[in-house]
Chains A and B, each alone.
Chain A
Amino acid sequence: MEKQEVLVELRQVNKSFDGKSVLNNLDLKIYNGEFLTILGPSGCGKTTTLRLIAGFEHADSGDIILNGKRINNIPANNREVHTVFQNYALFPHMTVFDNIAFGLKMHKVPKTEIKDKVMEVLRIVKLEEFIDRKPHQLSGGQQQRVALARALVNKPLVLLLDEPLSALDASLRINMQKELKQLQRKLGITFVLVTHDREEALSMSDRVIVMNQGIIEQCGTPKNLYEEPNSIFVASFIGDVNVLKGEVLGFEDNLVKAKVEGRICNIKTKKQLNIGDKFTLLLRPEDMRIEKLSEHPDTEGLMVGNIETKIYKGATLDTTIKLNNGTIIKASEFFDEEYEDFDYNMNEQVSVGWVSGWEVILKDERA
């Protein structure tokens, strides 16, 4: 992706409710045409960020800039930003047509033009035959589409989506994820989505911002966040993760010789470490490798534990291993052609390792 122009920028934004700080000197850039997701647990400030951009909340301090203009004092109804609300907030007394036409009417678009525009957007969301229905006569997915159409018909600079899929059931949600992504590509409108669902964030976004307690923990592409989280919080929020403790023993060639939960290993890292430093090692379950102990009779320098649970998932075999020091390790191994029928016995003693180079090292992690 080439360098893109900044469409929305939040500079040093602070916001508190009843003396409780929700956003803390927040800096945020949203690029034109991207699909950005703000991901975080409830209460992290993600919805407040969205509402600040929409104009439903006012920042205590800091600047909100849209398309080069400071919009802090522009009321919500004069911002070229539209929102798809969590429960859609479709006007119950209006038909689908009137709901979608509402924004155009408010902007005094001529009647004939309104009709064309509404029909066009209804075609895009595939709801032409529901034009005269009232919202309560539509299914959840259809209401969702009407809410999208109602916002998109006004050609906003930014479309804000506040947990738009949370009210849908699981299979519909996955379909809507695809549709949303396709729609965003087709229209080229900047989407800012707020969610606490990591799969939603990873599968749809160009860029993900992980927020926690009013600050941005990390920002990057989904791959970037998944593979190189910069904190335990981000790692565990984005996916399952094993958190291992290690200590630097020495240096060999360009590698760090370390002891991780009893396992002596060589780790490649760019981080500056000194002998005796303690560090945290993050590993995804699918990075873990399990070896039967019969092949390694000598357990010195190995991470050894017992198989505690195993779940057959079809494509993978998911196991948890309790190490001798009590740490629980999650592993997820793929079946492949060579080892089609590998399996473990419950409580079998195994040695645990990982694919060298896939580990993430965190220094001085607070947690």
Chain B
Amino acid sequence: MKEHSLFHKVTIGIIVLWLLLFALIPNIIMFVVSFMEYDSSSFVKAVFTLDNYKQFFSDNYFKIFINSFKIAAIATALCLIIGYPFAYILARSKSKYKGLLALLVVIPYWTSALIRTYAISYMLAANGLINTILIKIGIIDAPLKLLYTEGAVIFGFVYTLLPFMILPLYATIEKFDFKYVEAAQDLGASKLKTFYHIILPLTSPGIIAGVVLVFLPALGLFYIPSLLGGGKTMMVSNIIQEQFTTSVIQNWPLGSAASVLITVVMGLMIWAYYKSSKSFQTKVL
């Protein structure tokens, strides 16, 4: 019993230590820094200020903040629209290769996301695959501007994050009891009404999980907007990255403030998810 509890303590202790060192402490530092003044020579000056936050809500930073929510929301919506039917068909499939098919959804993601994003940028470039094909078959004369647009960024997000939508949806639809569908039809509901009144609400834990799993990374993945969106700062994640890594700016307090804001928003969304999943008494995550 004593050995057991020692093992117990050590393993838990390692995890706690890890989280303390690499999650909690950095976040506390960031939180503290976000309330400090910017100093070009020594990064940070230990003087309390709310300027970093004020700068966000007054400056055009706020526009970018809103814009990043918009882009993330569009990407999430597209993932849902594509992912739901996909997951539905997959989950309802009677094929014995069903499990394998679900695995195939994930396999492309064994390649580094960064490499795949570069690949997308080559496909979308002016002399890239898509433009070349479109010109060859004569649909267009001059190459379309595909790369370095918001559209390209959204495409990148949808491509990268789709499995995070499909998998929780697949899990809920798979567990869904189709007796309810028969019961609804028996009571006179058409296919559309059955979907709206029965299938949709009963699979909503999967929808919410998928939305959370796509929306939150879409806010945070900075390399997709920077590679596919060009030099423009499109999203908060770019601002944060710039503030920390670009040698010219290096405004750590401002970057920290942006990070804290995003963390708060994400925290609220996760809280909302747990609240909603409680009311359905099912959990996917």
Select one of A85, A92, A103 contacting B182, CB under 8 A: A85
Quick check: A89 and B180 within 8 Å, CB to CB? yes
- A89 in contact with B177 (CB, 8 Å): yes
Contact partner of A102 (CB less than 8 A), chosen from B190, B197, B202, is: B197
B99 within 8 A of A: no
Among A82, A92, A136, the residue within 8 A (CB) of B187 is: A82
Known: A92-B202, A93-B201. A106 touches B183 (CB 8 A): no
A64-104 with Cβ < 8 A to chain B: 75-78, 81-83, 85, 87, 89-93, 102-103
Cα–Cα, bound, A150→B187 (Å): 8
Q: How far is the CA of A154 from the CA of B185 in the complex (A)?
A: 13
Could you say which of B179, B187, B201, B281 contacts A103, with CB atoms under 8 Å apart? B187
Query: Does chain B have a CB within 8 A of A107?
Result: yes
Nearest A residue (CB) for B279: A93
A30 / chain B contacts, CB cutoff of 8 Å = none
A91-B198, A92-B202 known; A85 vs B185 contact (CB < 8 Å): no
Query: Which residues of B have CB within 8 Å of A151?
Result: 186-187
Contacts of B179 in A (CB 8 A): 85, 87, 89
Residue interface bits B184-217, CB-to-A below 8 A is 1, else 0: 1111111001000110011000000000000000
Q: Contact check: which of A89, A93, A136 meets B183 at CB < 8 Å? A: A89
**Contact yes or no, A83 B189, CB < 8 A:** no
Chain B residues within 8 Å of A102, by CB: 184, 187, 189, 197
What is the interface of chain B mostly: helix, strand, loop, or mixed?
helix
Q: Which residues of chain B have C-beta atoms less than 8 A from A87's C-beta?
A: 179
| Nearest A-chain residue to B189, judged by Cβ | A106
B159 interfacial contact with A, CB 8 Å: no
Q: Which residues of A contact B189 (CB under 8 A)?
A: 77, 102, 106
Establish whether residues B201 and A85, one from each chain, have CB atoms under 8 Å apart when the complex forms.
no
A13 interface hit (Cβ, 8 Å) = no
List the B side residues contacting A335 at CB < 8 Å.
none
Which of B180, B280, B281 interacts with A91 by CB under 8 Å?
A: B180
Q: Tell me the complex Cα distance, A304–B28, Å.
A: 95
**Given A83-B183, A91-B183; A106-B193 close (CB under 8 Å):** yes
Contact A89 B182 (CB under 8 A): yes
How far apart sit A81 and B187, CA to CA, in the bound complex (Å)? 8
In angstroms, Cα B193 to Cα A103, docked, is 11
Cα A75 to Cα B188 with chains together (Å): 9
B177 closest partner in A (C-beta): A89
Instruction: Output the least CB separation between B100 and chain A (Å).
Output: 22
The reply on A54 being an interface residue by CB < 8 A is yes
CA distance A119 to B114 in the complex (A): 61
Please determine whether A75 and B197 come into contact, CB atoms closer than 8 angstroms: no
User: A76 to B201, Cβ gap below 8 A?
Assistant: no
**A89 to B183 CA separation, bound complex (whole angstroms):** 6
Residues in chain B near residue A92, CB distance under 8 A: 202
A56 interface hit (Cβ, 8 Å): yes
Question: Is the CB–CB distance between A83 and B186 below 8 Å?
Answer: yes
Interface of chain B residues 233 through 256 with chain A (CB within 8 A) = none
With A93-B202, A106-B193 given, is the CB distance from A54 to B188 under 8 Å?
no
Contact A107 B188 (CB under 8 A): yes
Please encode chain A, from 42 to 66, with 1 for each CB lying within 8 Å of some chain B CB and 0 for all others: 0000000000001110000000000
- Give Cα distance in the complex from A150 to B180, angstroms: 13
A89-B177, A91-B180 known; A54-B202 Cβ under 8 A: no
Cα–Cα, bound, A219→B280 (Å): 46
In the complex where A93-B201, A102-B197 touch, is A154 in contact with B188 (Cβ < 8 A)?
A: yes
Residues of B within 8 A of A54 (CB): 186
Contacts A93-B202, A102-B197, A106-B193 hold; do A77 and B188 have CB atoms under 8 A apart?
Answer: yes
Task: For chain B, residues 161 to 191, give those with C-beta under 8 angstroms from any C-beta of chain A.
Answer: 177, 179-180, 182-190
- Bound-state CA distance A55–B186 (Å) is 8
Q: Which B residues touch A81, using CB under 8 A?
A: 186
Q: For residue B185, which residues in chain A have a CB less than 8 angstroms away from its CB?
A: 55-56, 75-77
> Closest Cβ of chain B: how far from A200's Cβ, in Å?
21
Sort A-B residue pairs by CB-CB distance and give the 10 closest, nearest first.
A103-B187, A106-B188, A89-B183, A89-B179, A76-B185, A77-B185, A106-B189, A83-B186, A77-B188, A93-B201
Q: Pick 16 A–B contacts, CB within 8 A, sort by A.
A: A56-B185, A75-B185, A76-B185, A77-B185, A77-B188, A78-B188, A82-B187, A85-B183, A89-B177, A89-B180, A91-B198, A91-B202, A92-B202, A93-B280, A102-B187, A106-B184
| 17 other A-B residue contacts (CB within 8 Å) besides A82-B186, A106-B193 | A56-B182, A76-B182, A81-B186, A83-B183, A83-B186, A85-B179, A85-B183, A89-B177, A90-B183, A93-B201, A102-B184, A103-B187, A103-B188, A106-B187, A106-B189, A151-B187, A154-B188
